[in-house]
Amino acid sequence: MSGASDRIRHSNAEGRAALIAYLPVGFPSVERSIRAMVAMVDAGADVIEVGIPYSDPVIDGPTNQIAAEAALLAGARVADCFAAVRAVVAAGASAVVMSYYNPLLQYGLEKFAGELAAAGGSGVVLPDLTPDIAQEWLAAAEAHSLDTTFLVAPSSTPERLHMTVAATTGFVYAASLMGVTGERASVGSQAERLVRDSRAAGAHLVCVGLGVTTGAHAREVATYADGVVVGSVLVRCLIDHVNEDQALDALRTKTSELARGVRGES
């Protein structure tokens, strides 16, 4: 079990879901993005998803795309994620990297896995890689004791669910709806069924993301999932506030709201 898996289980043992918070490294700058991640830890996030900006983020909606494009233009690179991971772990949370497969492939799978493990990272979330073609990455991850999280969706067949659950070594990421990331008025109505089906397929930890925007959403999802994944609404805090102090205040406020939500508080 990785640090992230342990943290999720510890949260569950406290009678609540874990809060998994996403931000891309490098937006609006590498240094500011790292300070923002630490601020989320201070405000109650259990696990930080450190995003690697990518030019073709197929699962990301407009908010995350804006941040990723700006980060790339500002010079953010794959290696910047390791500094972010170290800072998150030093602040007391667990860190996983969220990345599309191509950046890792270009960096070198073995090199990336070794450096992530050395930085204290727990694993990687790979939204565009499926288990049936992931053997090379899985070998590198296993060699460095890293977890690999794959995604399941409301459209996943029973066969696909079983294959994905069997290959996942961290938490299973259940996409609450078909589509891309983004802030929404409600969480996908099929999310609870997907969590139930994933557990029936053998999943030990299932976390739900896509569309979680408010503390009420987090409270709802926490009643049936092991963890709640939130991204776009947190990225929005950095987009809407050019001033860093204001951005961090907004980020802490929203993270605290979500942290109360996973605890069943209003």
Amino acid making up residue 208: V
The single-letter DSSP state of residue 202 is T
Distances (CA, A) of 242 to 32, 136, 188, 231, 256: 11, 41, 31, 19, 21
Is 110 considered catalytic here? no
Q: What is the largest CA-CA distance in the chain?
A: 49
- Is residue 60 annotated as a catalytic residue, yes or no? yes
The C-alpha atoms of residue 138 and residue 143 are separated, in whole angstroms, by 8
Q: Is the CB of residue 47 less than 8 Å from the CB of residue 95?
A: yes
CA 142 vs CA 1, 164, 248: distances in Å: 12, 16, 36
Q: Which of 6, 46, 56, 60 is catalytic?
A: 60
Q: How many Å apart are CA 211 and CA 187, to the nearest integer?
A: 5
Residues 31, 42, 46, 49: which is the catalytic one? 49
Token code pair at residue 21:
């918070």
The residues annotated with a catalytic role in the active site are 49, 60
